[in-house]
Amino acid sequence: MQPWLYCFDRSRVVAARAVDDGSKRLLPLRSNTIVQSLGITSEEIFLGMPITTASHPVSIILDRLPICESTKFPVLSIFFAKFKMVALTSIMAVEFDGGVVLGADSRTTTGAYIANRVTDKLTKVTDSIYCCRSGSAADTQAIADIVSYHLDFHQIELGEPPLVETAASVFRELCYSYRDSLTAGIIVAGWDKRKGGQVYTVPIGGMCVRQPISIGGSGSTYVYGYVDAKFKKGMNKKECLEFVTTTLALAMSRDGSSGGVVRLAAITEKGVERHVVLGDQLPKFFEG
């Protein structure tokens, strides 16, 4: 097989050129979007991610795959599935008397590469309803945008803000209808005048259930015991903010796919309060 270097902008081939036999150098790319590069030699496929230094763009090798002898060419879906932007994350929401508190870490990964270390995974749906996103970044952003679009029209029809339960139902409908195509775990939380603060969990597959506390993402597996031991009903807003911050810090210290800062949102009848806890201000945990 003659070695070629293929450069992809998402799913479109934008450049291709022959390289010297045995060359493993990746073609540098300039782009302000997520662009992957794929280097193919006679024996291996080199998957890369472009980065820019102070002087010039370079590419770093993220992984290698052997070429299939039967086809002599990789299945491109393997490449794109492997480097899909994914929020393997830690998210959380808690109800309290008067509102809800949401929290999330800020790390987004593309394969082994940290594509964004300060992502905002708390996405506004309406003025009093937010969602926490985990799974595929593209999928969850698209779902949140679609739900927000539908609720804007719903608010015009009603002449008043939509209910949190309504927002959760729209999320559930989308996630269930496209469950075979989407990788999306959502926590919907907010306040309305009918039921006050509410938290709804919409996991992958499209189920929807209301819970007083919900955790999700890859980091949640490390903190179920802590949450069960420390959560108590009747906490006020300050206690919930501290509880969510500590829980997320514990998850981030154990889960390699979670990290960065902790973003918080407290939603009450008065509105939304946003907080950011920087990495050096988080509680530290060490294994003995």
Roughly what angle, to the nearest 10 degrees, separates helices 137-158 and 164-177? Answer: 130
Residues 96, 204: one domain? yes
Residues 137, 21: one domain? no
Note whether residue 288 is domain-resident. no
Residues 108, 128: one domain? yes
Residues 139, 184: one domain? yes
The 3-state DSSP class for residue 69 equals: coil
**Which of residues 82, 108, 130 is at a domain's end?**
82
Per-residue model confidence (pLDDT) at position 85: 57
Q: Which domain holds residue 12?
A: 4-82
**Which of residues 20, 48, 82 is at a domain's end?**
82
Note whether residue 287 is domain-resident. no
Q: In what order do the strands lie in the sheet with 271-277?
A: 213-216, 91-96, 99-104, 262-268, 271-277
Residues 56, 191: one domain? no
Q: Which amino acid is at 104?
A: A
Domains: count for the chain: 2
Residues 95, 215: one domain? yes
Per-residue model confidence (pLDDT) at position 59: 42
Residues 78, 93: one domain? no
Residues 269, 135: one domain? yes
Per-residue model confidence (pLDDT) at position 9: 38
Residues 149, 235: one domain? yes
Residues 105, 60: one domain? no
Per-residue model confidence (pLDDT) at position 287: 59
Q: 13-22 b/e with 16+ CB inside 10 Å = b?
A: eeeeeebeee
| Phi, psi values for residue 220, rounded to 5° | -65, -25
Note whether residue 100 is domain-resident. yes
Q: Tell me the catalytic residues.
A: 89
In the block, residue with structure tokens 């830690």: 90
Per-residue model confidence (pLDDT) at position 58: 41
Residues 97, 75: one domain? no
Residues 121, 241: one domain? yes
Predicted confidence pLDDT, tens digits, the chain (288 residues):
333 334 443 333 334 443 333 333 443 333 333 334 455 454 454 555 444 434 444 444 444 545 444 444 444 444 444 445 555 799 999 999 999 999 999 999 887 888 899 999 999 999 999 999 999 999 999 999 999 999 999 999 999 999 999 999 999 999 999 999 999 999 999 999 999 999 999 999 999 999 999 999 999 999 999 999 999 999 999 999 999 999 999 999 999 889 999 999 999 999 999 999 998 999 888 754
